[in-house]
Structure 1
Amino acid sequence: MKIIRIYTGPDNESHFEEKEVDLKFNGDMEVSATEPAEGILFRRAPANHLHSFHPAPRRQYVITLSGQVEIETGDGTVKRFGPGGVMLADDITGRGHITRVVGGQPRVYVMIPLK
């Protein structure tokens, strides 16, 4: 299973990469390893919400439940996430990224801070 990781490069800018989540068959289904987490937050951002350049506040998974969001890095690369889109926010230093809710609808999402 592939997800998108956003991280800070040596240039102090955020970049995207695909990350493979290793799934192992347990006799019934495929399951990933358990990752320690600190909790879970549910959020709703209004339609057209814009959060200018900012680093992630902590290392965390961000999963879009409804609506759509565009994440833009300093080099202008844009990735769009819709329902079910998973991003590992790992750019906790540097200039960070822009978050923009698109599509004319609010975005509902989950943040899972990692330990």
Structure 2
Amino acid sequence: MKFQKLFSDDAGESRWADIEVNLVERSFAPPAQNIEISEPEDVRRMMFLRLRAGWDEPIHPTPVRQRLVCLAGAVRVTASDGETREIRRGDVWHMEDKSGKGHHTCVIGDEDFEAVIVQFE
């Protein structure tokens, strides 16, 4: 299992990285069988969001460290270093580029983009 991380390097460029999620088999909901699960992370809040088809924003950094889980639709996200990725249903995007040049996001296709955002700070 992996997620896509967008972060700022020391020069202020936003860059992408693929992060492997470490899963460990353990008892989670006894008496159910053991499952593979990651370590828990403390979070501050969770929200749902919708970006309407055609939505296009100016380049900006993320306001807080947060993780987005795409439920429907797709966006194209371009880091300031020029690398572009598409976030689609089921993808997880971790945003940490709180400083520097930021990233550009636009909805692609004619379907609204819907997601869950989990904020860590």
How many equivalent pairs are there? 115
3-state DSSP class of the match of 1:54?
coil
Shift in Å, 1:75: 2.3
Percent identical among aligned pairs is 29
Separation in 2, partners of 1:108, 1:56? 18
1:104 matched to 2:110? yes
**1:14 aligned residue:** 14
- For normalisation by structure 2, the TM-score amounts to 0.91
Equivalence for 2:92? 86
Over the aligned positions, Cα root-mean-square deviation in angstroms equals 1.0
Amino acid at match of 2:94: L
**Which structure would you say has the larger Rg?**
2
SS at match of 2:68: strand
Between the aligned partners of 2:20 and 2:63, the Cα distance in structure 1 is 23
Corresponding residue SS for 2:57: strand
Q: Which runs of 5+ in 2 are unaligned?
A: 28-33
Q: Name structure 1 gaps, 5 residues minimum.
A: none
Counterpart position of 2:50: 44
The structure 1 segments of at least 4 consecutive aligned residues displaced by more than 6 Å after TM superposition are none
Instruction: Find the aligned partners of 2:11 and 2:57 in 1 and give their Cα distance.
Output: 22
Q: CA offset at residue 25 of structure 1? A: 0.9
Q: How far does the alpha carbon of each residue in 1:22-79 deviate from its partner, in whole angstroms, 9 at most, with x for none?
A: 1111152210111000110101110011111110110010111000011101122110
